[in-house]
Every structure is written in structure tokens, then in C-alpha cells.
Amino acid sequence: GAGVSQSPRYKVAKRGQDVALRCDPISGHVSLFWYQQALGQGPEFLTYFQNEAQLDKSGLPSDRFFAERPEGSVSTLKIQRTQQEDSAVYLCASSLGQGDYEQYFGPGTRLTVT
Amino acid sequence: GENVEQHPSTLSVQEGDSAVIKCTYSDSASNYFPWYKQELGKRPQLIIDIRSNVGEKKDQRIAVTLNKTAKHFSLHITETQPEDSAVYFCAATDSWGKLQFGAGTQVVVTP
């Protein structure tokens, strides 16, 4: 089947605008992760879902960041009042869960805040 | 929380030579250690992984070793080819599966 998909692939936002980033995980994958990757660095954990439950949001950098996965499949990462430091690639990954740790990444959304 | 350190940050090798990347981790509860390859502008791709009950795993030209006592693991690429040029990330996971990544190694294979 299809891999993890993300949309949009590129997003340019003016400082102060709200953005919404979408992730479609692999069908049947229970676990879904969001990561932020700044230029030249490794991905940094943001938040984790098991089905529709958000079990860990310790990596969200501020209360301007919000994520949801209401039906346990598609997830949306929302950033309110974007700041320049939010510019990065936002990666989504999914895994089967339940002890199966292999995570498969989507292509990412490159967010540029001007 | 988990902290993963990765060395070297850049690695230049001649085609056909071997490349070795080393990582250390801090959380003794970590039990899964994947390696990802990321080409410029592309998604990270899982190339090999190892679990804590195994000391070594090999897949064609790629091998990974794990020393749980010392809390370090390494990626070995033999007979390197130009298409091996990329950034490689090691990672360690907690019980939820959350990945903590190293800073990455830029590997350049010169013909």
C-alpha cells in the first residue's frame, strides 16, 4: 500500500499566521509521531499518538503548537501565530505500534515563516 | 530523558573503502536502535535496525553492532559506493517508541 503522505509539501506563511499540516499514516498503523527537523540537524520529537490518544506532547515547543488525531488515522499539526523560529521541516512517521517500533516517515512539510 | 551522541559529523571515504559511524546513548532502558539514511530534500529512510537482545545484525553491505553495557552502537558500511553519499542518523527509542536522534553524519563517497 501507499506510504506515509503529508500535505502541503511546502508552506510559506507570514509571521503571525496560523498553519495546519496534515499527515496520512500507513493504513493500520496505530502509532503516529510528529518531528521537527531544522536545517542541518536531526529530527526532534514533538508529539506521539496511539490511535486517537495523544500520549506524549512533551516535545511541543510552545502552546502555539497543537496536534490532533480525532479518528485515529489522519493527524493534523496546527501552529498558531507562526514565528520565524518555527521555520523547519515537519516530519510525520507511523508504526504498527504494540511493540513494533519500525517508524516510516512521510516526505515532510517544509514551513517557511517570513 | 534520552540523549544520543553521534560521531563523526562528516566522513569522507574513497569508493570501495569502509565507513563507520558511532553513537552513544544515555538511557539504559532504550531497547531499539534504528539507523536512517536521508538524502538532500528527502525523507529519512530506515536502512537497518537492532534490538537490545542482539549484538550484531548484517544486511548485505550494512552492519550494525550494539554494546549495551557500554551504551554504544555503530553502523558499518563496506565497499562504499557513490550512492551511499547521504546524511546518516542513528536513533534510540524509549518504551513508547519515541525516537531520539543523533545529530547526523554527512557521508561523502568519492569515486
Give the other-Cβ count within 10 Å of A105's Cβ.
23
- Average pLDDT in chain A: 95
- B44–A91 C-beta distance less than 8 A: yes
Q: How confident is the model at residue B103 (pLDDT cuts 50, 70, 90)?
A: very high
Identity of the residue in A56, A93, A106 whose CB atom sits nearest the CB atom of B96: A56
A35: exposed, middle or buried (C-beta count within 10 Å: 0-12, 13-18, 19+)? Answer: buried
pLDDT tens, residue by residue, A43-57: 999 999 999 999 999
- B49–A105 C-beta distance less than 8 A: no
Residue B58 to residue B35: CA distance in whole angstroms: 12
In this predicted structure, the answer to whether residue A98 has a pLDDT above a threshold of 80 is no
What pLDDT score was predicted for residue B53? Answer: 84
pLDDT tens, residue by residue, A52-95: 999 999 999 999 999 999 999 999 999 999 999 999 999 999 99
CA-angle at A32, arms to A25 and A90, nearest 5°: 80
Residue B45 to residue A35: CA distance in whole angstroms: 14
Give the other-Cβ count within 10 Å of B4's Cβ.
23
Closest residue on chain A to B97 (Cα) = A101
Phi, psi of A85 (to 5 degrees): -70, -10
CA dihedral for A25, A114, A66, B26, sign (positive or negative): positive
Q: Is the peptide bond before A8 cis (omega within 30 degrees of 0)?
A: yes
- A42–B101 C-beta distance less than 8 A: yes
- Average pLDDT in chain B: 94
Cell output for B24: 552513544
- Taking residues B62-82, report their average pLDDT: 97
**Residues in Cβ contact with B103 at an 8 Å cutoff, skipping those fewer than 6 apart:** A41, A42, B5, B6, B9
Q: How confident is the model at residue B2 (pLDDT cuts 50, 70, 90)?
A: confident
Could you tell me whether strands B10-14 and B105-110 are parallel, antiparallel, or unpaired per DSSP bridges? parallel
Closest residue on chain A to B44 (Cα) = A105
Task: Give me the amino acid identity at B4.
Answer: V
- A107–B42 C-beta distance less than 8 A: yes
Task: Decide: B58 and B76 in contact? Cβ < 8 Å.
Answer: no
The conformation of residue A43, written as its DSSP 8-state character, comes to -
Cell output for A90: 515537519
Rounded CA Rg of chain A: 13
Residue A20 to residue A67: CA distance in whole angstroms: 9
